[in-house]
């Protein structure tokens, strides 16, 4: 049976329109006004497959995830030149940090820069501090270091931004920033890399029932977790013991990039 998360409903496919997210963060819902499955952030592309009653049925460009987004959260496409590399940033009205801020952007948000100076990058939406962005072709090389940018971010089921993220959202943000394809949910992410055994290595992925974490070193991991309702470092042995005690069992998979 096909996975509805990744396979568009043929009964709903009547359009093939490109669009991008034009708000800070947009929920990707299972149904219109339904529960959130994932989120999309500013500049991320989608294919609009249907429009009805203020909602769009879409498939996300970054991972093929299907769902419903409020039509007001989508806008015209543009060719991104840069991505936000800071945990978060602001778009200012003018090239001055004292000018009014117009919007906040999360790590990984995509933008098109028209002009760049030592202090600010000019975009159609406003001005962004130059030190908070990177060219889209400049990729990170260490997923665990990218994940660390989210330390302290509140846990949010289905979250994909600095304002709230879950375990699979954290892993996806870290891997995509390094140019490594990554699906949206933890069960899908178990296909990443190769089966690993023995000592833990940096950037290994550890899976439990409904959960994923990234190894920082042979004794430490980083994960967004509902236990602390945050993104945090935690001892591997401590995490394994705590999850077993909670009833979710031992590590179910150990994957190496």
Topology adopted by domain 143-256: endopeptidase fold (from Nostoc punctiforme) (3.90.1720)
CATH dotted code for 17-75: 2.30.30.40
Domain edges within the chain: 17-75, 82-135, 143-256
Angle at 137 between CA 194 and CA 73, to 5 degrees: 90
pLDDT value, residue 2: 86
What pLDDT digit, counting tens, does each position of 165-210 carry? Answer: 999 999 999 999 999 999 999 999 999 999 999 999 999 999 999 9
**Confidence band of 28 (pLDDT split at 50, 70, 90):** very high
CB atoms under 10 Å from CB of 103, counted, come to: 16
Share of the chain above pLDDT 90, in %: 99
* pTM strictly above 0.85: yes
- Could you tell me the two tokens for 35? 């529960």
- Could you tell me the two tokens for 132? 């908070």
Q: What is the mean pLDDT of the chain?
A: 97
Q: Do domains 82-135 and 143-256 have the same CATH topology?
A: no
- Cα dihedral: 44, 48, 52, 55 (round 10): -10
pLDDT value, residue 181: 98
Beta-sheet pairing, 230-235 with 164-165: unpaired
pLDDT value, residue 17: 98
Q: How far apart are CA 164 and CA 159, in angstroms?
A: 5
Angle at 213 between CA 254 and CA 164, to 5 degrees: 155
User: Is 82-135 CATH 2.30.30?
Assistant: yes
- Whether 161 shows a pLDDT value over 90: the answer reads yes
Mean pLDDT value across residues 131-148: 98
């Amino acid at each position: 049976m096909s996975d509805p998360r990744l396979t568009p409903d043929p009964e709903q496919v009547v359009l093939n329109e490109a669009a991008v997210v034009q708000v800070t963060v947009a929920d990707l819902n299972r149904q219109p006004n339904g529960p959130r499955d994932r989120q999309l952030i500013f500049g991320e592309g989608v294919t609009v497959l249907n429009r009805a009653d203020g909602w769009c049925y879409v498939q996300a460009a970054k991972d093929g995830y299907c769902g419903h987004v409020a039509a007001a959260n989508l806008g015209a496409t543009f060719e991104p030149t840069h991505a936000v590399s800071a945990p978060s940033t602001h778009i200012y009205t003018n090239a001055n940090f004292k000018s009014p801020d117009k919007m906040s952007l999360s790590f990984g948000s995509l933008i098109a820069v028209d002009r760049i100076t030592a202090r600010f990058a000019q975009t159609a939406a406003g001005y962004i501090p130059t030190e908070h962005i990177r060219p889209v072709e400049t990729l990170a090389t260490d997923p665990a270091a990218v994940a660390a940018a989210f330390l302290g971010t509140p846990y949010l089921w289905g979250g994909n931004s600095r304002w709230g993220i879950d375990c699979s959202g954290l892993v996806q943000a870290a891997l995509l920033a390094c140019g490594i394809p990554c699906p949206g949910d933890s069960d899908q992410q178990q296909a990443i890399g190769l089966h690993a055994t023995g000592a833990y290595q940096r950037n290994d992925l550890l899976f439990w029932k409904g959960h994923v974490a990234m190894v920082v070193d042979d004794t430490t991991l980083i994960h967004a977790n509902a236990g602390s309702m945050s993104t945090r470092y935690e001892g591997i042995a401590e995490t394994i013991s705590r999850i077993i005690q909670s009833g979710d069992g031992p590590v179910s998979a150990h994957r190496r990039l």
